[in-house]
Amino acid sequence: MSQKPKISRLASLSGRTAEFIEPMDCKSVTKLADGRRWVYEIKLDGYRAIAVKSDSRVRLFSRRRKSFDHHYPLIVEALAELPEGTVVDGEIVALDESGRPNFNLLQNFRSEASRIHYFIFDLLICDDRDLTRLSLSERRKLLKSLKLVSGRIHIAEQFEASANDMLAAVRQQRLEGVIAKRKDSQYEPGKRTGSWVKYRVNRGQELVIGGYIPGPHGFDSLIVGYYRGKDLVYVARVRNGFVVASRLQVFEKIRHLVSQKMPFVNLPDSHKSRWGDELTAEKMKECVWLRPEAVAQIEFLEWTEADRLRHAKFVGLREDKDVRKVVKETYHDQPFR
């Protein structure tokens, strides 16, 4: 049975209908913020999702307002314990046998449904009251008072530690990274103000799929890049990380995006690569170009001086990302192995 927060502060807040709210973004940083004003969370490797309970119905949305209801029905069912008129922000995560987030498992959401969980890290509306102007600390206090009991729904843990200690723990567990949030931060939908920041420990990020080179089971390699302003910048051809089933699955997702227009501003390659993977004008004759609408999660060894990826590996498709927000992230940590 759902419970409302037992905090009088709620009654004094302005009314607001429970509906989709665009998620607040984190700014990528090269140095993790430290000090008493900051609190830390583990950067979870999953899909950002906004859950809304209104008119006795739960709806689960991606950051782009795409419905997740049919993908994750067990999560939707478990979220029924939320109070009426509630909106929460969180991450859909698949956990492996050791309890670690595993993005690959999340791709197989039907066969791996029992491993999928929802971690809530913010409460935006409760009992049709707007909480976004409260501080993060106040919102978290209200969130904890909900006393959620489902084994699939969790309140993401926050840590008050030094930045160094937090990073050491994340490295030891080989997790993706750290999120730092100012305790006094309001929730600012769709904005990346610096009140929330992210620091990656592994080497991986989202990249836009702009084409492919044909091959067995649809394609031999994906052609990917990131946005620099309005320009899509090519960075790699990705061949690793696929099995037959995943190639077929990805090909079905991208084949309808075929376009006559080459979307990258920096092709053909004019320089020679020491690894022989340059995309020259001659090689481009083999390419099939796509409208840049699909996003892939990619892991890699390092960025080269020529702004290319070495040893890129496909992890999964990201259906929750706005392609125009896919930019180059910064890394100052151990490379992916």
- Give the residue carrying structure tokens 């006094």: 184
Note if 43 is an active site residue.
yes
CA distances from 262 to 51, 59, 212, 232, 296 (A): 37, 38, 11, 10, 18
Please answer whether residues 33 and 163 qualify as being in contact, where contact means their C-beta atoms are separated by less than 8 angstroms: yes
Q: Which amino acid is at 120?
A: I
* Separation of alpha carbons 122 and 226, rounded Å: 29
Q: Which of 43, 181, 313, 321 is catalytic?
A: 43
H or E stretch covering 121? strand 116-126
Please answer whether residues 204 and 223 qualify as being in contact, where contact means their C-beta atoms are separated by less than 8 angstroms: no
- Give the residue carrying structure tokens 């892991």: 299
Decide: helix, strand or coil at residue 62.
strand
Catalytic residue ranges: 43
